[in-house]
């Protein structure tokens, strides 16, 4: 019952908002993110990257950071930066594999390694999502943390889990 009431209240609140204003805020956040992320060495942004042409883009940015595993980047952002992101293929494995330029042979090698019990990183990306409740300052924190990760300036030592997509801090 509490969940239903909370959902109804949230829906009513969203209906009362000026949707054009909400969309403008999200577009401004996304433009700020695209501009700021372009300053991170080695960062590859997927999707529209022109901050002045984001009409068809929602407040989501997917990226990889150099040769670092997406799971490691997400773990450092979460554990050391307190920044919630997702990583992996986002239920779009074939599309992500296409964007990453992976071939069927790459997937075959990964599957053989998994069957042999060897850790093999799963392909994927890191995804940050922005919405009504976010600020440009929060995006700046994400970008600052990515600069630190790119330069190897993070405190923990991280160990990959056998699933090949997640990392846990060891120290």
> 171 falls in which pLDDT band (50, 70, 90)?
low
> 151 falls in which pLDDT band (50, 70, 90)?
very high
Give the per-residue pLDDT at 119.
62
- Residue positions annotated with a catalytic role: 91
Give the per-residue pLDDT at 167.
92
Q: Which CATH code is given to the segment(s) 19-151? A: 3.90.1150.10
Strands 60-65 vs 43-46: parallel, antiparallel or unpaired: antiparallel
Question: With 90 as the cut, is the pLDDT of residue 43 above it?
Answer: yes
- Domain locations in the chain as residue ranges: 19-151
pLDDT one-digit tens code per residue, 4-22: 999 998 888 888 888 888 8
Kindly report each contact of residues 153-159 with a partner whose C-beta sits within 8 Å and lies 24 or more positions away, as own/partner.
Answer: 154/76, 154/80, 155/80, 156/76, 156/79, 156/80, 158/72, 158/75, 158/76
Give the per-residue pLDDT at 157.
94
- In terms of average pLDDT, the best of 14-28, 37-51, 98-112 is 37-51
Provide the percentage of residues in the chain whose pLDDT is more than 90. 54
Which one has a higher pLDDT value, 32 or 17? 32
Question: With 90 as the cut, is the pLDDT of residue 99 above it?
Answer: no
Give the per-residue pLDDT at 95.
82
- What pTM was estimated for this model as a whole? 0.84
Report which of 138, 109, 105 is spatially closest to residue 121, judged by C-alpha positions. 109
Give the per-residue pLDDT at 87.
93
């Amino acid at each position: 019952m509490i969940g239903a009431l909370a959902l109804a209240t949230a829906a009513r609140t969203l209906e009362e908002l000026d949707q054009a204003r909400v969309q403008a805020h999200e577009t401004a956040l996304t433009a700020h993110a695209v501009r700021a992320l372009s300053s991170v060495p080695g960062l590859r942004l997927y999707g529209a990257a022109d901050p002045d042409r984001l009409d068809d883009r929602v407040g989501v940015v997917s990226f990889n950071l150099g040769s670092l595993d997406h799971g490691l980047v997400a773990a450092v952002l979460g554990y050391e930066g307190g920044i919630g992101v997702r990583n992996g293929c986002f239920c779009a494995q074939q599309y992500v594999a296409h964007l990453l330029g992976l071939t069927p042979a790459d997937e075959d090698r990964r599957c053989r390694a998994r069957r042999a019990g060897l850790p093999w990183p799963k392909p994927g990306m890191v995804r940050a999502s922005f919405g009504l409740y976010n600020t440009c300052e929060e995006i700046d924190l994400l970008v600052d943390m990515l600069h630190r990760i790119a330069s190897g300036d993070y405190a923990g030592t991280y160990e990959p889990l056998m699933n090949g997509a997640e990392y846990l801090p060891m120290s």
